[in-house]
Amino acid sequence: MQIFVFALAALLCPFGVTANNCTHADPSSGTRSNDQTCIPNSNVSNPEALHKRQFYYIGGQYASASPGGVPGTYWQDAMYVEQLTPQHPTQPFPLVMIHGGGPSGTTWLQTPDGRKGWASYFLERGYTVYLVDLPYTGRSGEPVDLTYSPPITVSGAQSFFTAGKTFGVNFWPQAVNHTQFPGARGVQGEAAFDAFYKSILNIPKASSDSFTLYQKRTRSSGAALLNQIGPAFLFAHSLGGWANWLIADAAPAQTLGIVGLEPASPPGLAPGSGAAPLYTWGLTNAELTYSPAVNGLGDLQTEVVGGPSTPAQSNCTQQKSPAKQLVNLATIPQLFLTSEAGIHATYDQCTVGWLRQAGVNLNWTKLEDVDIHGNSHFMHLELNNLDIAAYAEDWVLNIARSKLATDGPYRWR
């Protein structure tokens, strides 16, 4: 295990180091910024909270393999873990933060324009924070031959993540409300967009066996982490939502609660499959625990509800009654956050419906209903990111107080 202690001034932004005299391309020129180390707002002081950092790898095993045609013995399936411990820990239960599809664990550290991220927000409030890079992603890359998807294109990132008001409205009408991504327009050539886009990685391809393996290894490594650190809250963004569910399903006694920021994709029907769900286990391609027990594809009987889909609202795939129950997840409270302007506003009701139908205790919050406006999918990086973090923390504290009232004082590990 490696241990590092950092003073505030020594910390670097995950999107690049602070530099003066930033120069950036004209967005209409079709070129990227010519300054690849610059971040915007270089006069902003470092926002990171003082903490101790430790990192290690968890899970996996030695195995014989031939990656790239080179046979030998390799370590496979490990997950990178970065433990951030505040200078003065005050909260007994840690937070595990899981990135979505594309970013790595650095997505929680700072925003693309150099402001405080969720990791520092919670560190300042006394929480120990664990950041992970999911297996086969980022610092958890390893010698196995997998099928990967390329990163999202610039056009796709602008439409679906950073410039919804300009481009996303071509796909869903709620995007007109997107105002919170940093920068003038959220487009190529602006410093905040360039910093954001450079952080996006490729991931195992969703339509391949690699993606199922990706989920299975996340389930086992994530459960190993919780069994090592003790009861914790799981936070996840986007595609990391299935990691929340898989890890909690494998280690329910160690999962205090789940916070999902527009988690994963909704249950759907596989094209040309009749009534077969898109994901083998409804929400995931790796095993979830249902009662009565299922063996995956074919055992979950589904139907489409909600009438014809529109750009503003998708119809939904749900189980036929009586619905099989997610018995391990049913014991774990969940907070499910949906933005006002992101594309998830058109279909998160489907994921919520599947979870509730399966017996999950779920608090679904549409941010506009709690007076948090203008956000899209990467809400934790946007201008009002700390308002959303504060809302999530209030929920966490309520669950933690209930746990302590029931179980008594918690023994720190």
Give the integer Cα–Cα distance in Å for 266 and 354: 8
| Catalytic entry in 104, 220, 221, 238 | 238
How would you classify the pairing of strands 129-133 and 95-98? parallel
**Containing H/E element for 57?**
strand 51-58
Give the integer Cα–Cα distance in Å for 224 and 217: 11
Separate counts of helices (H) and strands (E) for the chain:
7, 17
DSSP secondary structure string for all residues of 181-216: SSSSS--TTSHHHHHHHHT---EE-TTSHHHHHHHH
Dihedral over Cα of 182, 184, 187, 192: its sign: negative
Helix axes 209-229 and 241-250, enclosed angle (nearest 10)? 60
Q: Is residue 309 annotated as a catalytic residue, yes or no?
A: no
The pair of three-digit structure tokens given for residue 251, joined into one six-digit string: 């280690």
Q: Which are the contacts of 321, defined by CB distance < 8 A and separation ≥ 6?
A: none
Give the integer Cα–Cα distance in Å for 108 and 376: 16
Q: How many CB atoms lie within 10 A of CB 79?
A: 25
Give the integer Cα–Cα distance in Å for 192 and 255: 35
Q: Interior CA angle at 160 toward 155 and 164, to 5°?
A: 95
User: Are the C-beta atoms of residues 203 and 214 closer than 8 Å to each other?
Assistant: yes
Catalytic residue positions? 238
